[in-house]
Amino acid sequence: SQTIHQWPATLVQPVGSPLSLECTVEGTSNPNLYWYRQAAGRGLQLLFYSVGIGQISSEVPQNLSASRPQDRQFILSSKKLLLSDSGFYLCAWSVARRKAFFGQGTRLTVV
Amino acid sequence: AQKITQTQPGMFVQEKEAVTLDCTYDTSDPSYGLFWYKQPSSGEMIFLIYQGSYDQQNATEGRYSLNFQKARKSANLVISASQLGDSAMYFCAMREGLISGTYKYIFGTGTRLKVLA
């Protein structure tokens, strides 16, 4: 069966520090991968999506970047975090017409 | 412009009553999918129901049904016989880009539902 792993679950980082959130999918090949951010009590904002290795589409220009070094690995990064980067980050995957499956999320607090 | 609009930031419903959560969408893609997800306080995203743009009948999944009105571009979620455990944030989402192969999932801002005992 397919599973998605996202870590860490919680992260507190100082302003100006780097960030690396990792997401891996098991049990499927060539998934579409997504990173979303959810501000407290708000909706999900699509940050990046990828349809294949090395193919990254950015939805919102910001302080973050994404990479897909392997078929089932999706990484969200920042060189220098801002206070406004705080939020709940969700990784998701889908295949073709199927529903998106979500990871458990990472709650990031930038202090 | 908003592609998915949920106009109800919060809703209350009495236990055992039915409730409708509104969702309208905007797309020029001829083939798309519409989804509803539930997000309890834990933060996990729970898939509830799916409607394809070419589906002739409204989707149903247990107590959940999707009132799909294509001409009006609306995809409202109906929860029948509400339970206390239904209290959560509900998101409407659209998957477009099937023709181009981009498969983007766009979410609305959500509706927070509170079921009252």
pLDDT at residue B100 in the model: 67
Facing A43 at nearest CB: one of B44, B91, B101: B91
pLDDT, tens digit (0-9, with 9 covering 90-100), for B38-67: 999 999 999 999 999 999 999 999 999 999
CB atoms A43 and B50 under 8 Å: no
Q: What pLDDT is stored for residue A95 in this prediction? A: 86
How does the average pLDDT of chain B come out, rounded? 93
- Please provide residue A85's backbone torsions phi and psi, each rounded to the nearest 5 degrees: -80, -10
- Where does residue B3 fall: left (phi above 0), alpha (psi -120 to 50 degrees), or beta otherwise? alpha
The three-class DSSP label of residue B86 is helix
User: What's the pLDDT score for residue A49?
Assistant: 92
Rg (Cα) of chain A, in Å, rounded?
13
d(CA B17, CA B97): 37
**What tokens does A109 get?**
């607090």
Residue in chain A lying closest to B52 (CA): A97
Query: In 3D, which of A109, A33, A44 has the Cα closest to residue B92?
Result: A44
* Best-predicted range by mean pLDDT (A38-42, A57-61, B22-26): B22-26
Is B103–A104 a contact, with Cβ atoms under 8 angstroms apart? no
**Contacts from A61-65 at CB under 8 Å and sequence distance 24+?**
A64/A19
Q: What percent of chain A has pLDDT over 70?
A: 99
At residue B96 the predicted structure's pLDDT band, cuts being 50, 70 and 90, is confident
Residue B1: pLDDT over 60: no
Minimal CA–CA distance to B34: which of B62, B90, B80, B76? Answer: B76
Q: Do B44 and A102 touch (CB under 8 A)?
A: yes
A33-53 tens-digit pLDDT: 999 999 877 789 999 999 999
- Specify whether the CB–CB gap between A64 and A53 falls below 8 A: no
Structure tokens at B49: 């129901």
pLDDT of res. A60: 81
At B102 the pLDDT is 72
* Each residue's pLDDT tens digit, A83-98: 999 999 999 999 877 7
